[in-house]
Structure 1
């Protein structure tokens, strides 16, 4: 995946995760960081479940699910 596509997926995944978990985004840089870290979390989680998708949409779903998991864990840690 190219760097530009990786950043786009990260930004979209971070924004989507922010909509699901918090109700608002975290700014462009925050969304990208959350989405990129979420892509690693989602990739690891999906690998444990035996799931894989190499398409752009599959990468977006994987990163979004990982970012949601990440935000949920961060929220639990703060409480």
Structure 2
């Protein structure tokens, strides 16, 4: 991966984290930096899973890959919101 690809992946990961947070209902009591970190990790995991299923490189926008990434981000936000909320009580 070239350096431009890495920075592009980071930026997309930040957007994915924000989308994942929007998908999860209710208020999440986690810091924004954690949401963004979850998004970056979810973007990489979603890309790996899409590659495993062979849907990572399609003509046009990779909608299935994007849905996988947002889904992983939503799961990550929900899990960490539950863990972080319990820890702070």
Q: Would the TM-score normalized by the shorter structure come out above 0.5?
A: yes
Q: Normalised by the shorter chain, which TM-score bucket?
A: 0.5 to 0.7
C-alpha change, 1:22 and 1:11, in structure 2 (3 Å) is farther
TM-score under structure 2 normalisation?
Answer: 0.55
CA RMSD of aligned residues (A): 3.4
- Provide the rounded CA distance (Å) in 2 between the counterparts of 1:14 and 1:24: 15
- Provide the rounded CA distance (Å) in 2 between the counterparts of 1:71 and 1:31: 6
TM-score under structure 1 normalisation?
Answer: 0.60
> Larger Rg: 1 or 2?
2
Q: Which residue of 1 aligns with 2:40?
A: 36
Q: What are the ranges of 5 or more consecutive residues in structure 1 without an aligned counterpart?
A: none
Between Structure 1 and Structure 2, the one with more helix by share is 1
Length, aligned pairs only: 74
